[in-house]
Copies of this chain bind each other. A is one copy, B any other.
Amino acid sequence: MATADARRTKFVLDEDRIPRAWYNIAADLPVPAAPPLHPGTGQPLGPADLAPLFPMALILQEVSQDREVAIPEAVRDAYRLYRPSPLFRAHRLEAALGTPAHIYYKYEGTSPAGSHKPNTAIPQAYYNKQEGVARLATETGAGQWGSSLAFAGALFGLEVKVYQVRASYDQKPYRRMLMESYGAQVVPSPSPDTSYGRRVLEETPDTPGSLGIAITEAVEDAVMREDTKYALGSVLNHVLLHQTVIGLESIEQMAMAGEEPDVIIGCAGGGSNFAGMAFPWVGRQLRGEGKYRIIAAEPEAAPSLTRGVFTYDFGDTGRMTPLVKMHTLGSQFIPEPIHAGGLRYHGMAPMVSHVKELGLIEAQSVHQVACFDAGVLFARNEGILPAPESTHAIKVAIDEALAAKESGESRVILFNLSGHGHFDLASYERYLAGGLEDYEYPAEKVATALADLPTVG
């Protein structure tokens, strides 16, 4: 079914179409995901184990089996500042590629923080505020999550402390300044502000840091202070749940466009924007309402889904988190400082890992230079300068479009453009100057890290 206006570029929804409930994939899965375990006892975690870190509302969402979880009105009100996000048909990119494929992208960069991350930062700040929390501690890689929590903290009147991975802190000073403009306090991680940070600094003063290290620091901060809880920007079930507004809106917008996708793509670091886009579509597929190829695009430098082991591991490097069953390169593995800082993570969201094991999604790994090629081609045709993370999805979408051209078949491609690259321009400058390098899959480092996995039970 073709749309009436063949040149139609944007599919926008009015704000009364912001979803009223998040979609919980747990309700539709044929096999439940393995539970998180207490690292000391090896037993499944209870709500009380998580209470020092999270407010009870989020802990209950973490284990909920309800298909729909109502979005509080105060959260929908804050979503109105930027949601629903637009869906675009990439007419100009299609023409540049000479492909018969139709390429659509959902654009999450219209949020004030510039990515999908406020979709969960806002409810996390809201629920913490509701339960009397005064201060949040968190980590950030590329800075997308930190600036989103800083923004959400400003909206709900919470103090925010951000441990920013040092490689990103140095590469992306504007991200720090944005967080500070929203009123947050930012330190490079590892930092002297935690005992774990001090230990890492002592052992490896030149470390670029990693998400795993920064998570340990933020968790330690939250555990040590009565007024503080911890907020995580990816990986956990409740985070993925909040992100499903992306996929839910995109289902409605693809219907406006009068097309069903054949392929659905998202970049995957911790897995939250990928899951946010993919899970509502996976749910449709599980209910027999459609059939799609769904692809997670991850960096060759940290390819947990394509090369990792599916097993219990820690979410952080300092081994303070629960044990979760996921695709992991080993919690002691520290990825090379690729510019897609948000994808520099040793593991993958347990629910994304589980869905991959069930054969409901695929994964591909891609090199960063090819991703920047794709990102610049995209910018010069579609206008939006993508975040380095998002270029991984663009790269795989372009490959799909070129494959369709090669085989002469029509193909409808939908990908999530998770954010803009306004704070990543130093990476683009290096790319344009030819100074960007690819990192091969670090087989030896991964083998070492995987030899050091925790023993369970």
A379 within 8 Å of B (CB atoms): yes
Assess whether B9 is in contact with A183, with CB atoms less than 8 Å apart: no
Output the least CB separation between A339 and chain B (Å): 13
A434 interfacial contact with B, CB 8 Å? no
CB neighbours of A80 from chain B (8 A): 7-10
B428:A181 contact, CB within 8 angstroms: yes
Q: B177 to A425, Cβ gap below 8 A?
A: yes
* A320 at interface, CB cutoff 8 A: no
Q: Mark A366-399, 1 if CB is under 8 A from B, else 0.
A: 0000000000100111111100000000000000
Q: Are B384 and A180 in contact (CB under 8 A)?
A: no
A405 contacts B by Cβ under 8 Å: no
Q: Is A432 in contact with B112, judged by CB distance below 8 angstroms?
A: no
**Choice from B110, B114, B182 contacting A379 with Cβ under 8 Å:** B182
A27 within 8 A of B: no
Assuming the A-B contacts A5-B16, A9-B15, are A181 and B423 also in contact, with contact meaning beta carbons closer than 8 angstroms in the complex?
no
Q: A151-B383, A380-B154, A383-B155 are in contact. Are A426 and B14 (CB under 8 A)?
A: no
Number of copies: 2
Asked whether, in the complex, the Cβ of B181 is within 8 Å of the Cβ of A379, the reply is yes
Q: Which residues of B contact A151 (CB under 8 A)?
A: 383
Q: Is the CB of B81 within 8 A of A181?
A: no
- Give, as a whole number of angstroms, the nearest-CB distance from A46 to chain B: 37
Roughly how many angstroms separate A432 CA and B178 CA in the complex, as a whole number?
Answer: 11
Contact present for B379 and A174 (CB under 8 Å): no
CB of B112 within 8 A of CB of A155, answer no
Residues of B within 8 A of A425 (CB): 173-174, 177-178, 181
Instruction: Indicate if A12 sits at the interface (CB-CB under 8 A).
Output: yes
User: Which residues in B have their C-beta under 8 angstroms from that of A180?
Assistant: 428-429, 432
A7: chain B residues at CB < 8 Å are: 77, 80
- Please report A residues at the B interface, Cβ cutoff 8 Å: 5, 7-10, 12, 14-16, 77, 80-82, 88, 92, 110-114, 151, 154-155, 173-174, 177-178, 180-183, 376, 379-385, 422-423, 425-426, 428-429, 432
Q: Can you pick out 30 interface pairs between chain A and chain B where the beta carbons lie within 8 Å of each other?
A: A7-B77, A7-B80, A9-B80, A9-B81, A10-B15, A10-B80, A10-B81, A12-B14, A81-B382, A82-B383, A110-B110, A112-B385, A113-B383, A114-B422, A151-B383, A154-B381, A155-B383, A173-B425, A174-B174, A177-B426, A177-B429, A178-B422, A178-B428, A181-B379, A181-B385, A181-B425, A181-B428, A182-B379, A182-B380, A422-B422
